[in-house]
Structure 1
Amino acid sequence: MRALLVVNPNATTTTERGRDILVRALRSQVDLDVAYTQRRGHASDLARDAAREGLDLVVTLGGDGTVNEAVNGLMTFDEGPAADRAHERPALAVVPGGSTNVFARALGLPSDWAEGTGAILEALRDRRERLIGLGRADDRYFTFCAGLGLDAEVVRRVDQFRHKGSTSTPLLYLRAFSAQFAVTNRRVPLLTIQLPGEPATTGLTWMLVQNTAPWTYIGERPVNPNPRASFDTGLDALGLRELPVAGTARTVSQLLSARREPKGKQVLRLHDLPGFTLTAAKPIAYQVDGEYLGEVDKLDFASVPGALRVVC
């Protein structure tokens, strides 16, 4: 089996010693090449080249951003239907190396890189893989979530903090959330969701789209506003309408709770959607898989079932 290991050398929990151990372990089972990312988007280029060269497996060592780039490289190396060509692309294996590692944990893998490596090696020995669905926002694929509004603004703030030397931690995200929440106008309805063949729903201030559950983690605790979301179903969406201060505090506590699902007249929840369109009254921040991608005023979302083979 020919494989490529894509390493993000700047990922939060990776070390040179750990990378050496991982390379030796993988080379005991596969014919392995190693490539290090050098810029944003490089993992996508590396994965796309691996697919074009006919490799069997792409392994990532990094966080969810590295995984997202690699997935987009694998999915866009040809122009065929995504699901129909899943078995012609390399499979993906994910060794957690970031601060949160939502995708790896959603697959049931350990969050620690050493334990994750062991799980991947065992799956390779047993030839164990799984076919999962992906989400797509316009031409960008995502593995676990996308968001427009508040959460994307938080991701943008975290990126700014990290560029100034801060380490990505749950505390940093809380700091970014607190700062953004203080300046967010929660009474300006910007977003409209349009499902095929149905009347549009307007008056939304924030929208979260999930391809699986949970949405994210705070340390070891999952944050699970759409617990029915799954790699094996369509997309789940949660939107918030105009919220007064008291309602906002209650909904935020529900969002962050491990046991309570967001409910109330200001909450819109939709399950197992094949696709829909979001439009904004003015450009609004958006993110996919925790990566800030700028501002948009329209996105077409689609569920892509059976799109990717993963070793897990």
Structure 2
Amino acid sequence: MPQFIGMTKAAGATGLFDLNLVSSTLGDQLAMLHAAQADGLPVKRVELGNELWAWQYRGLFADGAVYARVANTWIATLHREFPGVEIAVPVNDPTSAKGPRGKLWNKELFATIRGADAAALHVYLQAADSTPAEVATAPLTQWSAALRRITPSLPTNIPIWVTEWNYTPAEAQQPLPWARAIGGAELAVRMVEDPRVDLADFHDLVGFVGSSYAAIRAISTNGSSAGPFRYYLTAAGRMLQLLVGTLSGCQSVQAVGTSSVTRHATAPQLVGVACREPAPVRVMVINPTSKSVLVNTTAIVGRATHVVTSVSTIATSSSDAAPAGVRARSSGGVVRVPPWGLLTLES
């Protein structure tokens, strides 16, 4: 807990507490939350269990209704102990679930739950053994397809918290880290633009190549044993750093689409987001395809400083070496965004 509190404060973030309904008690979890609050970490968001719809928890929660009856006690107590706290309950993709328990989990959960503030969803992209183009464009089809499968089983008025998202862990350790980084940034932008998504947490912060930070163990000075771990910012971490730089402190977000920014009708599909309040206006536009595109920056933000970051030359590389960004004034408001490129603007 001290490490979590320190990291959260250092990042200026708001902690999301995922409570243990499997091997702990309500009393113990309340004590943990009160201790965190006493150490200066406010309890604003809570997730009631991690993927409890999964098959291995069937002995504890026979179905969504059984879980909901337990969760109702926790929710009422948490709202009383921590006024204003928002609480999410775990939901799944009914179409890919095993057996009737998983397929009916969301329906039975929301027929019984009382006082939940959000639905906690995990989204992992699949692009195994793919080309850079297939990896980078996976969010275009997979995110919208996931929503089409899942949202019919949710109440229309409940917000979605995507408390884990990435490429599937096994795939995130495969080559093409920069193509996956561009795809991850695209998925993040699509979630930001979706009015039902209130929160999106990248998973995970530290760990393997597909995390924001990966660990390598240094060799000790005598070469006989492994030294301490050192951490480095991965390709995914660098893309997220650019996205956070665009959206940090943002109070008003606007989608940036192909029709408003491209100079020709045959341009590939772009995805982008603009932060218009507070000033200055900051914009990120992603080209997740294998074709270059011309972007009319004046149509978005007027005269602006821009940086183009392209991974086209290293999209097939397994290295995390950083691609070059070029900071310059746009000429005539037109900027060429290369394949698998990312454009950031600031007015």
Taking structure 1 as the reference length, what is the TM-score of the superposition? 0.29
Quick one: higher RCO (CA 8 Å, sep 6+), 1 or 2? 1
**Counting strand residues as a fraction of each chain, which structure ranks higher?**
1
